[in-house]
Structure 1
Amino acid sequence: MPQAIPDLVSDMRESHRSNYVRLSAFTGLVWDHLITLSDEIEYVWKSPKGPITYLFFFIRYFSPLSFIVNLVAYFPPDWTDTQ
């Protein structure tokens, strides 16, 4: 059983690293949305709406929402290193 403790510590470290990667990816996605918002308003929001425009809106805004759901799933407030 002595091998179980180092494995648990290694698993916790990998879990934390994965969470940091998820959070940095979400930060990059939000940053991209913010810096391209003026172009989006000018070229998409002010243009005539069609199926492609609605597909753009769905993809553009579904991605951050799915990222948020993913982050909430991996960062629950009741998780601690002692569990």
Structure 2
Amino acid sequence: MESTNPAIHPTTVAEYTSDVFQNLVLEYGTLSATVLLLWDWLTSLDDEVEFIWSLRSGISGRPLYLFLRYAGTAFEIYNAVAELGTQNQELYVNLTRVFARLNVTPIS
């Protein structure tokens, strides 16, 4: 019985392998940046409470500080979740292509 998969071309496998590697680097980079941002937020939370939340004056830079601090954090978390979801799908597609080119089938 002949295989229905096309012949294995080293350049094609190398391209897919390169795509998989790039996706993994991007995924881990996004995750590490988000973890670093959250770590920074947690370690400086006591200073934030002391200097920003405990201010008694009515007009201050508090709204600007809170917007700049939390809008960026919220965007980064949203971006990380969206990026990781997209990257996982692309990673799955590229891995499937590599395994198909190598005639590897899953054990079920």
- After TM superposition, the score normalised by the length of structure 1 is 0.83
Q: Which consecutive residues of structure 1, in runs of 5 or more, have no partner in the other structure?
A: none
Root mean square deviation of aligned Cα: 2.2
Question: Residue 41 of structure 2 aligns to which amino acid in structure 1?
Answer: H
Question: Residue 46 of structure 2 aligns to which amino acid in structure 1?
Answer: S
Provide the C-alpha distance between the structure 1 equivalents of 2:77 and 2:61, rounded to a whole number of angstroms: 25
Q: Which residue of 1 aligns with 2:96?
A: 82
Provide the C-alpha distance between the structure 1 equivalents of 2:29 and 2:45, rounded to a whole number of angstroms: 24
Cα distance change of structure 1 residues 65 and 14 upon mapping to structure 2, 3 Å threshold: same
Q: Secondary structure at the match of 1:82?
A: helix
Kindly indicate whether structure 1 or structure 2 has the higher relative contact order, using CA contacts under 8 Å at least 6 residues apart: 2
Alignment size in residue pairs? 83
Alignment of 1:1-83 (within 5 A): 2=9, 3-47=11-55, 48-50=57-59, 52-76=61-85, 79=89, 80=92, 81-82=95-96
- List structure 1 runs of 4+ shifted beyond 3 angstroms: none
Provide the C-alpha distance between the structure 2 equivalents of 1:25 and 1:63, rounded to a whole number of angstroms: 13
Larger Rg, first or second structure (1 or 2): 2
Identity between Structure 1 and Structure 2 (%): 29
Question: Residue 55 of structure 1 aligns to which amino acid in structure 2?
Answer: L
Cα distance change of structure 1 residues 49 and 12 upon mapping to structure 2, 3 Å threshold: farther
